[in-house]
Every structure is written in C-alpha cells, then in structure tokens.
Amino acid sequence: MEKNIYEKIFDISNENMQKSGNRFAHPKSAFLCYAELDPHKVDLIELSKVEADNSEFLDIAYINLLNRPVDPDAYQSWKKHFNMPEWQFRTLVIQRLVSSKEATVCHKRIYNNIFVRKKLSAKKDSLKSKAMEKLLPVYRRLPEKIKAPIRKLAGGN
Amino acid sequence: MKKKLYIDLSMIMQVNYMTGVQRVVQEVTLRLLKNDAFSVILICYNSENENFKIIDNNKFYDFFANHIGTKGQCYTQKSLGFHELKTGAVFLDMDNTWNCRLGRSYLYPILRKTGIQIVNFVHDILPVTDPQYSHENTVMHFIGYIGAVIEYSSHVCFSANADADAFSKLCSQLEMPMPSYSVIPLGCDLKVKEYTDPETLPKDDDGNILPEYRHLVVQQEVIDAVGAGKYLLMIGTVEPRKNHRIVIDALDAGLDINVIIVGKMGWNTGELRKRIINHPFYNTKLFMLNKVNDAGINYLYQNAYLLAFPTFNEGFGLPMVEAFQHGTPVIASDIPVLREVGGGFADYFDNTDCNALVEYVKECQKNPEYYNTKKELLKKYKPASWDDFSEKMSVVLLSESKEKGQVPQVVIKQMVVLTARHEDIMKSLPFIEAYMPFIKELVVCCPEWNVEPFKENYKGNLKLIFRTDDQLLNGRPLPDDHQARNFFLRCMIMGLDILDDVFIMTDDDYRPMQLMTQEVFLKDGRYQSYYFYDLKEWQGTYNNYSSFDSGAFRTRDFLESQGYPTYQYSSHQPQVIDKRIFCEMLETHKGIENNPYDEWSTYFNFGIYHHPDLFKPCPNVSMCWPGKLTSWNLYHIPGIFLFENYYAEMYEEGNIFEGFSQEYYDGIDSENQEKAFLFRKAIEQQFDERKVFDSYSRFYFDQEGEYPAMIIHIDPKTQTLELHAPDYIQFQHDCWTRVPVVITEEVYKKYVGKVLKVSYHFRNTLDVPVLNSPEIEIQTGDLKLMLPVRSPKTRIKQGSMLFQAKIKEPEQPLAEGETPVPNPPLVVSAKRISLILT
C-alpha cells in the first residue's frame, strides 16, 4: 500500500533522528496515530482492531483516549501485561483507560463500547428485573378477566 | 468590501509566556485588527463544545497592546462551528498550533470543504529536520501539522529563505508540490525607551505598583545581575537546541566575562539547570533569570557587552536582530539561517567549540577598536519593523482572499437534460417555462428514437436542440451500470460545441415550484452549489442499495484520495454548470469519465477545491428527496423548496400528495405551496422524533460515558455471537427512529455465506408483546447502519425492547409447488433493553 504523507514525514524524521545518534522512544504507529486522530470521539471497536502489538497498542490507546502517549512510569507498569493474549490485553487497557479520571477530563465521546459494563445501570436493571420476577407469577395466576384490563393498562394488546 | 479573515489564537490565549512565535502572532494580529481592508474574526478552539469561541477584538487589543483587562475577559459568548467559517475567507494560522488538540490534519480538510483559503506562517520545520532537539511529543504533533500544511495550505509564509529551502526540500522528498510561498523577515522594533521611574507610577493602598503598570518597571533581580559587571547575554527558551551548554563550557574554559541567561525553562533541561545552579560562579558571574518583563528585556539588551547565540538551528533568530536594534554586537553560530539574517552585522563561530567563544570574547576585550567598529556598524542596521512585516502579510492575505466572487456577469439561458423518457421531461417542461423564464433554450440528449416524438408533441416556447446518444458517444461504448452511464454521458456532453459556457443541468423529473430568477444559480458572482449530504456520512439507502449508493461510496473514495471536499451534490434538482471548469476536471483527472462516480458531487467538489472564489455550497432546495422518508436520515431540513423531485407514486391513493395535480396548470402555485407545507411537516416530524432519540443519546453519554448503539460482534474469548446493547433506550411513541447498529467484520468472517437477520420486539411491563418487527436481513458487508425502528402506538410509558440477531442459512428459492423447508437459525443472540416511551 502506498504510504501516506504523514508516514513519509515520519520516515524522514526518523532517519534524521538516527543520523543524530538518537532513537525515538515511541513506535511509528504512535506518531501516525496523531495525524489520524479525531480530537473529539473514539470508536472502541475500531480502536480495538488496529494492527499493532501490545506495546504499540498501549500508545495508540493512550493517544486516542487520553490525547497523549503513554508516560514512562505507566509504560513500566503495563509492561508486565505484555505477554497476555492480544484481545485480553486490549480489553484490559481500554477498560482501565475508559474508566480513568483523566479520560473524563478529556471530553472524548466514546462510541461502540463493548468493553466496559456500567455498574450503575446494571444495578438498576437487576432491581427492576427482581421486581418483575416477583410480580409475574402473581399476574399469571390471575383470572383472564382481571388480566385483560391490567394488560390494557400496561399498554398490551 | 472588506475581506473576511479568521485568525486562530488558540495557543496564544492558552499560554502565559511570550516566545518568538507568540510575539509574531501578537504583533501581526494587533496590526491586522487596525487594517481597514479586513474584517477580522479572532477565534480560539473550545474542546468542550467542539467549536471555536469568538474573541472580542477590542478587548484583545486592550489586553495585548495596552495591558488592560485579563485574557479571560477577551472571550465573547459567541461561537462558531468548524463548518461555519465563511466560504472564500482566509484562515490565518501563525501560532505553534501543532500543540493544539484540534489537529490540523483534522481541521484543514473541513476548512477546505467549505472553500476556506488556509494561509500558514511556518516558523521552521526543525522537529522534522533536527528531531533530536525537540521533545518527542512535539515531533508527534508536528508530523500531523506539517503534513496538513503541505496538503491543504493555499499559501505558506516563512521568515527566512533557509526555512523556505528546507520546506521545499521536504516537499520534494515527499513528492508533493511546494505550495505558493513568501519570505517575510520578522519585525523587531522593540520599543527602546528610557526607563520609567517606579516612583511616578500609580500604586495601590499598600504602596505596590498597579498590575497594569508593572511591565514598565525593570525588576530588581535584573538590575542586580546587570550591575555585577560586563556580561554576555543569552536570551530565549532554555532547551537543548539553544546550546547553552557551550557557554557554560566556555566559562569553565576561562571565559573572562559574566554570563546572564534569560528565558523560561523548556524541555530536557534538568541537567543543565543543575549544572548552572551548582556552578561555582552561580549568582556571581553566572546568572539565570526567568519571567523577565519587557522593560527588563530592553534593559538587558541595552547593557549587554555581547549577545551569544550558539543555537544549533533556528527558524529566524529573533534575539539576534533584537540585539542589533539595541546596538549590541552578536556572536552567533555559523549556520545558514543566521548568516542570512545577521549578514555582516554579526560574527560567527563554530558552535561546538567552546574555546572559539573564549577566544572571540578575549579578542574583543583586547581589541576595543574592533569591538567599537562593530558597535558603529550596528548604528546603520535598519531592522524590518512589525509594521513592514504586517503590511507584507496583509498583501499575501489580500491576494489569497477570494471572498468576493469572480464569475463574470453571465446570462444563463440554456438548460441541458439527459433523458431516455421524453414523456417525463415533456410533463416537466411547462413548469420550467412558467417558473424559470430566463431559460430560453433546451438541449436534449436522448436516444435517437426519442427525437421525433419529442418534436411532434412539444408545443412550448423553448428552442429545442437535440443531440442523440450516438452523437455524444461518437463510437464509444455506453457503460451498463446506471451511475456509470450517467456520469459518462454527462462528461461526453461537455464536448458539445452548442453548449454555453454556463448552463443549467437537469433531469427529466426535476420540477420548479415557484417563479425564480437566475440568482438561484448564480448570485453575487458565485455558483450556488446545492448539497444534501456529506458523503463521509452517507450510509446508503436503507435496505435497498442501488447503483446510486455504490456510486456515492466510490465518489467518496475518489474525493478523499484527492483531498477534495466531500459534500454530496446529487440533490435531485437542477444545478448550474460551468463547462470550462467541468472540462478542467476532465483534463486534470484523465479517464475519470470511465468511472461510476456521482457526476454532481465530483464536479462541485472539484470546483470548490480549485476555485473556492467561484462556488458557494448551499443546502439543497429540493422537495421529495428522498421520496420515502425512511430511506435515510435527512442531513438537514431545506430552508425553502424551490424544486420538486417528481415521483408519480407519491400522488397515488393513500400517499402524501393524493388528489394533487401532477400536471402544470395556471394557478398551480397554491397547490405547490400546500404540497411544500405537507412535505415540510412530514420531515419536521422526522426531525422531532430524532430529537427524542438524540437527547436520549446525549443523556446516555452523560450518564454512562458512551453513546448508545447495538453492536453485533464475536466475543474474542468465547468465539460466540454476542450482542451488545445499551441498558435502556428511549423513543417517541408511534414513530420511526433510526438506531445505530454496528456489525464487526469478524461476524462476516466467522459465518461466511450465512445470512444475518435482526429483529426487535417491544413488550410492556408485564412482558406482553406490543410490537414485533419482521426479521430484517442485513446486507452482507454492512459494518455500520442506522436501522429504522418502529416504536409502538400504545400509551405505555415503560417496558422492554428485545433486540435479536440471528445467523441463518440463506433461503433457497422454491420451485413451483415445492413446500418450504424450515430454516432454523444457526445462532441467536438476544438482548433485553429497558424501554422508555415519551
């Protein structure tokens, strides 16, 4: 595939960096991620599918969700998870970053979140379903004459 | 007429320091605000609302020129969406905006789509050429910035030829054309003046000088450092590129003069700072000053023996010219950009050799005549002023501003139609004759067998000119695909010598609905270009992909590959075409006519990109596009309906226009108004229904931190079909709402050759079904779609929605008399969602 302009600029910068006897600490994918970044939203399904190894993915996830590359301290603490299977590592990173306070401050709109379940709603839901579980057997035992107006009241046919 | 100019001040409004870049932004902005040729709008990125805040011009001027007020007071309550900048205006980007969260690789394509000219001031490209001297995060941001400048900028300004050369070299390495450019040396007329006696300045009750006057007083620490003896001055942000290390090395190697370092501490300077603070000469011969005000800077320049500028690389070297202006000799690095800016006024040394610096200073002190000759020479130095600089910038900006249209006055009299059904255009022509009286001539491109019946049956007043398909094709084969055929034929039409340069292109079923002038198509010197969508957001006609949709997707890919804007102009209404620009497109993209592109979107986006001065994108003014409102979510509600996209079925029994006349008669105007009213009501209802879902989506985001969507995916752990859905969902009663459904590629990969069907079922609080949808087959390959969901009519407020996805074997066609074989689903995944109805 033909390289885009940002990839070519990275290659030139990288070459100049190496000529000076230095190396970039972050992978190429982190550099290119900035050029393709939507500053306001992140689609977690797309993010979870980027072609990258676990170390590269970490940077990409940080940039997408927190608008910055991973810092050295955080990198060290993530390093111990690098041997995890890819999907497990990605799920973990996304879950942690999405739930972090820093992500809240970043005002990023999150789309297609199949990774983080929200406890609050789950709690509400389970309360509701518990109530229904208790009421339904009572309802079922009622005679049809009483059932019909209740159904109507509840909006049924 | 004043030229509209947007200046992005996102960075200068954010930071509390004033480096060379911020000084350029400030000086130019202050002068442009006073320039009568421009209507300046100062803007600043607002990440929370995803738009630009507008800054009050007077308050900005007061704060930055007169130190009155605060930065916070400069903001107005007004804001501007990224798409709302005025076509043809100039967007001036001078600040170090690569650090702005609103990346230029994101912003510039949006600006170009609306016909904005982008003018950049590129101070240097050091993060690319010398990345070792920049923080890695800066390099990361800079790549997106400089790439976007090269791709989208209309004009780039540099402060030195060396910068333009480096930029040009980068463009050629990238095999990209160098944008048009100017070299404008920076101004440097610092106000050299007598210092204000602190006793004369207004004070508060505690005897402290009022904040707005403090910049006029030289700080005590500056006076103390200057008073310590003859000194070598270094000014600028302390960072590795500035090479402060060499001066400390020189001090250790016997440099016989004090050193004063002035500037904020930048990146990667921890070691240097330690070295300075722990230096045996610290605060006796070696001084480090931060936060020096303007008066202090002046004082330091005026009293310095020499300015040392050992930098490894620069965009311009502002401290050097500021020193010249104060009559202070300069010893600078021997690098091209400083040679260019400093010429014979400065002396140069090898910036890696500290002994060279020691020797130079020794020589100056030993040989006062030489030093005094240098000082004398500097009296002849005439710096470029900020007024000169701003004047040159305004010349560039005026030449780039294409706000005023440039289409020469033309009379539009010709309409061109492609048709294979002369009956349809015959029915539309009375509308055209009555409501578009400026049209005098109709060019009809049609199959040969259509010509005679057309001539025989037409009784109107238009002059008819026929060109048959064979004449157009001139032996070339006609593509089979509908979209490809349309595009190909319209491209072929451009070769007709009977065409006017500017004409109206139409289809046989586009009917005007009220009297109009040619201003609908050409106003204030600009072609009015009517779009109805953005191709980037186009998801196709619901459950009925046609050649139109695949053409739209291909057109989107083509436009994106060229960096062109992506509005969708197939608005199903007549549009104005400039033949010369259409031909320019054919010439620029040779062979384009052989592709199944959307002819309207290709032409207009090409035109707007290359001639933003001649086009104005406008929301469409066509009614009945789409004919079925469930076909797609409308992008906007047209402000007015000037044309009807005629569908006979809309007049059939039970449909929206039942009982209305389908043919023109004198006095049909009132019927047209009534139809417009009915159609508007229908689309407004769709928007109202969407509002309920949109407001729920925002609420859900606020509560849960994510936007709601149904997601059909394969669980990576269990490898089974999973359905993710929001915990609760809200609809308006009895309406169609489009709900986002996302299907991951893995689903198709895992179930190759199978069929994916979704369905939804509403139940009341007692779990009694109140509405069941049919099973809706998802087109293979769809990854994102907006599924139309019909909400129940009942008055229930709450209940549940069961969303279901099934994978099935494809249905086999039945032979006559054959009984259908049951086709049970292979996998089912369902999700119960709490339902709220309003």
Question: CB neighbours of B603 closer than 8 A, spacing ≥ 6?
Answer: B569, B577, B581, B582, B585
Name the residue with tokens 């620490």.
B221
* Structure ipTM: 0.77
Which amino acid appears at position B235 of this protein?
I
Any chain A CB within 8 A of the CB of B833? no
Any chain B CB within 8 A of the CB of A105? no
CA–CA distance, B304 with A40 (Å, rounded to integer):
49
Contact B174 A98 (CB under 8 A): no
**pLDDT score of A117:** 59
Maximum CA extent, chain B? 116
Give me the count of residues in chain B: 838
Most B CBs within 10 A among A45, A66, A120, hence the mutation to make, goes to A45
What values do phi and psi take at B285, rounded to 5?
-115, -20
CA–CA distance, B575 with B522 (Å, rounded to integer):
10
Q: Is the dihedral of CA A74, A76, A81, A86 positive or negative?
A: positive
Question: CB neighbours of A40 closer than 8 A, spacing ≥ 6?
Answer: A107, A108, A109, B47, B50
CA–CA distance, B694 with B699 (Å, rounded to integer):
9
pLDDT in tens, A33-89: 888 888 888 988 889 888 889 999 999 999 999 988 998 899 999 999 999 888 889
Between B50, B130, B143, which is nearest A9 by CB?
A: B143
Bridge partners, B720 (sequence order): none
Q: What is the DSSP string of B780-825?
A: TT--EEEEEEEPP-S--SEEEEEEEEEEEPPPPPPPTTPPPPP---
Any chain A CB within 8 A of the CB of B240? no
Contact B147 A6 (CB under 8 A): yes
Task: Please answer whether residues B547 and B483 qualify as being in contact, where contact means their C-beta atoms are separated by less than 8 angstroms.
Answer: yes
Task: Please answer whether residues B313 and B131 qualify as being in contact, where contact means their C-beta atoms are separated by less than 8 angstroms.
Answer: no
The mean pLDDT value for A11-17 works out to 96
What strands, in cross-sheet order, belong to the sheet with B286-289? B286-289, B258-262, B231-235, B306-309, B330-333, B347-349
**pLDDT score of A156:** 55
CA–CA distance, A30 with A56 (Å, rounded to integer):
7
Per-window interface: B 712-731 vs A, CB < 8 A: 713, 716-717, 722, 724, 727-728
Bridge partners, B203 (sequence order): B209
Any chain A CB within 8 A of the CB of B124? no
CA–CA distance, B40 with B32 (Å, rounded to integer):
7
Which amino acid appears at position A26 of this protein?
H
- Residues of chain A found within 8 Å of residue B802, distances taken between Cβ atoms: none
**pLDDT score of B402:** 57
Between B136, B709, B834, which is nearest A25 by CB?
A: B136
Which amino acid appears at position B280 of this protein?
P
What values do phi and psi take at B368, rounded to 5?
-60, -25
What values do phi and psi take at B740, rounded to 5?
-65, 130
Task: Please answer whether residues B108 and B152 qualify as being in contact, where contact means their C-beta atoms are separated by less than 8 angstroms.
Answer: yes
Task: Please answer whether residues B793 and B733 qualify as being in contact, where contact means their C-beta atoms are separated by less than 8 angstroms.
Answer: yes
Any chain A CB within 8 A of the CB of B51? no
CA–CA distance, B718 with B704 (Å, rounded to integer):
26
Any chain A CB within 8 A of the CB of B122? no
Q: For residue B540, which of B532, B525, B528, B551 has the smallest C-alpha distance? A: B551
- Residues of chain B found within 8 Å of residue A39, distances taken between Cβ atoms: 47, 50, 101-103, 106
Contact B766 A151 (CB under 8 A): yes
Task: Please answer whether residues B11 and B29 qualify as being in contact, where contact means their C-beta atoms are separated by less than 8 angstroms.
Answer: no
CA–CA distance, B707 with B568 (Å, rounded to integer):
26
Between A110, A128, A154, which is nearest B834 by CB?
A: A128
Residues of chain B with pLDDT under 70: 17-19, 190-196, 212, 401-408, 542-545, 780-781
- How many CB pairs (< 8 A) connect A and B? 173
Task: Please answer whether residues B204 and B230 qualify as being in contact, where contact means their C-beta atoms are separated by less than 8 angstroms.
Answer: no
Per-window interface: A 29-88 vs B, CB < 8 A: 30-32, 34-40, 44-45, 49, 67-69, 87-88
Most A CBs within 10 A among B99, B137, B143, B763, hence the mutation to make, goes to B143
Q: For residue B390, which of B649, B101, B33, B62 has the smallest C-alpha distance? A: B33
Task: Please answer whether residues B464 and B422 qualify as being in contact, where contact means their C-beta atoms are separated by less than 8 angstroms.
Answer: no
Give the residue from chain B lying closest to A135, CA to CA.
Answer: B766
Any chain A CB within 8 A of the CB of B127? yes
Q: What is the DSSP string of B574-619?
A: -EEEEHHHHHHHHHHTTTGGGS---HHHHHHHHHHHH-TTTEEEEE
**pLDDT score of A130:** 61
CA–CA distance, B201 with A10 (Å, rounded to integer):
53
- Residues of chain B found within 8 Å of residue A67, distances taken between Cβ atoms: 101
CA–CA distance, B338 with B553 (Å, rounded to integer):
51
Give the residue from chain A lying closest to B704, CA to CA.
Answer: A118
Contact A156 B716 (CB under 8 A): no
Most A CBs within 10 A among B139, B172, B352, hence the mutation to make, goes to B139
Question: CB neighbours of B196 closer than 8 A, spacing ≥ 6?
Answer: B213, B216, B217, B295
Between B103, B139, B792, which is nearest A37 by CB?
A: B103
Q: For residue B514, which of B431, B610, B613, B601 has the smallest C-alpha distance? A: B431
Contact A13 B150 (CB under 8 A): no
Task: Please answer whether residues B140 and B98 qualify as being in contact, where contact means their C-beta atoms are separated by less than 8 angstroms.
Answer: no
CA–CA distance, B724 with B705 (Å, rounded to integer):
15
- Residues of chain A found within 8 Å of residue B131, distances taken between Cβ atoms: 13-14, 16-17, 20, 22, 24
On average, the pLDDT of chain A sits at 82
CA–CA distance, B26 with B95 (Å, rounded to integer):
9
Q: For residue B778, which of B805, B809, B750, B756 has the smallest C-alpha distance? A: B756
Give the residue from chain B lying closest to A157, CA to CA.
Answer: B770
Contact B140 A91 (CB under 8 A): no
- Residues of chain A found within 8 Å of residue B768, distances taken between Cβ atoms: 151, 154, 156-157
- Compute the nearest-CA separation of B8 from chain A (Å): 17
**pLDDT score of A121:** 47
**Degrees to nearest 5, angle at CA B553 with B550 and B555:** 110
* A25 conformational bin, left if phi > 0, alpha if psi -120 to 50, beta if neither: alpha
Task: Please answer whether residues B684 and B637 qualify as being in contact, where contact means their C-beta atoms are separated by less than 8 angstroms.
Answer: yes
Between A6, A22, A32, which is nearest B132 by CB?
A: A22
Bridge partners, B522 (sequence order): B527
CA–CA distance, A107 with A66 (Å, rounded to integer):
9
**pLDDT score of B225:** 92
Between B129, B766, B834, which is nearest A139 by CB?
A: B766
Give the residue from chain B lying closest to A67, CA to CA.
Answer: B101
CA–CA distance, B44 with B71 (Å, rounded to integer):
12
Q: Is the bond leading into B740 cis (omega within 30 degrees of zero)?
A: no
